[in-house]
Each structure stands twice: as C-alpha cells, then as structure tokens.
Amino acid sequence: MDLTRHRRDYDNAPLDPAELDDDPLVELRRWVDLAAAAGVTEPNAMTLATVDAHAHPSARVVLLRGLDHGLVFFTNYDSRKGRELATNPHAAAVLCWLDLARQIRVTGTCARLPGDDSDRYWHSRPVGSRLVSAASPQSSVLTDAAELDRRIEQLGRHHPDGEVPRPAHWGGYRLLPDTVEFWLGRPDRRHERLRYRRRGGPGWIVERLAP
C-alpha cells in the first residue's frame, strides 16, 4: 500500500514564546479550549502510553477528565494500563487535533487519586457507565459477548435503584508532567516545537526544538 500521496501542508502562524503561559498546564488548557471551540470531537481525548516490567510499551486512547497540577484520567486498576502503572509509574500522553495541526506531548509519572476524588467522579457518571465499569473485568478474555451482558444484568439486579458503588478496582490517576511539548504544524514542514521542562526547583524551562 502506497500512502505517500496523502500529504497536507499547514498554514499556522508561528508560535510566540512570549505569549505562552509560564505554566504548561495552563497553556494545555488553552489548547484544549481552542480545540473545543473549533468543534473538534472529544477534544479531551488523549493517547496514553505505558510500559510493562519487560519494557514492552502499550498505548490506548483515554479521556482527560481534569487539569490541576497534572492530567487526570480514570480507569480500571486491574486493566493492562493499571497493572503496568503499578509496576512502572512512568507514562507518556499525546493530545492531537489533526484539523488544527496541533499536538501536545506529555511525559511524567502517574499516581492514583485519593478515593474521595474518584468517588466524586464515579457518582457523576451515567448509571449505565457505572454498571459496565463495575461489571467488566477489563482487559481479561471473555468466553463470549454474552458473558459481559450477564455480568451487567446481575449487577443491575443487585442495584435496582441505580446506586452502583465505586468498586475498589476502579479509580483515577494523575499524570504529573516532567516535560510538556507543544507542536504546531507550519508551512514546508518548518513546524514549531516548544518544550517545557521542569527545573531542579520550582518553575519550568522553555526550549525551542528543531522540527
């Protein structure tokens, strides 16, 4: 298959470092808001990469659910990513908006959220989502599609009022960044790359990288 003909030129204006916020997470929020305002579907979708004990990487798309001093997402702790983060908390994330020719790369370490934070988000979710998350043995092999249906139906009978408690195997993580790189597509592949890197103490160093 020849994919070389699929080519696009970009026309974004250059990034002005003076206009960037000193805090990369504030700047990240601006870019997410820009994507949302542009009508991007699920502008908070991000690819999360983790590594197992044998240095084998895996990646999947998760939803960014919060931004404070890190990037917050939720998952099943017994899933592949949960097991890998328990062994190696280092992770990388990418938010990419192709229509805007913008991308953000984040590297850092993940830590579990306090239970109260996970509880608050859990109870904000639709009942159906809670039932599936509680019933699903995520990343495990199912005998057939009906197995999950049976699990969900059984759990629903136990909680006819829809008040499904958060299971111990489900909750949130916060990705605490060490680096945050902002990429902007420019004409003739002269792309902009500005990377925030943590100082030894408070604050960030901003560096321009070659495209």
> How does pLDDT run across 138-161, given as a tens digit for each residue?
888 888 888 888 988 887 788 888
Q: Is the pLDDT of residue 135 over 90?
A: no
The encoded tokens of residue 181 equal: 């790189």
Which of these ranges, 94-103, 139-148, 168-177, has the smallest mean pLDDT?
Answer: 139-148
Q: Per the domain annotation, does 3 fall within a domain?
A: no
CA–CA distance, 188 with 208 (Å, rounded to integer): 18
**109: enclosing H helix or E strand:** strand 102-112
- Domain of residue 184 covers 17-123+169-208
Q: Is the pLDDT of residue 163 over 80?
A: yes
Q: Per the domain annotation, does 41 fall within a domain?
A: yes
Q: Per the domain annotation, does 40 fall within a domain?
A: yes
Active-site positions?
Answer: 189
The mean predicted confidence, pLDDT, of the chain is 93
Q: pLDDT digits over 64-77, tens only?
A: 999 999 999 999 99
Q: At what angle do helices 127-135 and 145-158 cross, to 10 degrees?
A: 120
CATH, residue 41 = 2.30.110.10
Total domains in the chain come to: 1
Q: Per the domain annotation, does 162 fall within a domain?
A: no
Q: Per the domain annotation, does 161 fall within a domain?
A: no
Sequence-distant (≥ 6) Cβ neighbours of residue 134 within 8 angstroms: 155, 164, 165, 166, 167, 170
Q: Per the domain annotation, does 163 fall within a domain?
A: no
The residue ranking higher by pLDDT, 200 or 87, is 87
The encoded tokens of residue 9 equal: 């030129």
CA–CA distance, 102 with 162 (Å, rounded to integer): 40
Q: Is the pLDDT of residue 120 over 90?
A: yes
Determine contact, residues 75/82, Cβ cutoff 8 Å: yes
pLDDT band at 116 (very low <50, low <70, confident <90, very high): very high
CA-based end-to-end distance of the chain: 27
Q: Per the domain annotation, does 91 fall within a domain?
A: yes
Q: Per the domain annotation, does 154 fall within a domain?
A: no
Q: pLDDT digits over 28-86, tens only?
A: 999 999 999 999 999 999 999 999 999 999 999 999 999 999 999 999 999 999 999 99
* Amino acid in the structure at residue 188: D
Q: C-alpha angle with apex 41: 40 to 43, nearest 5 degrees?
A: 70
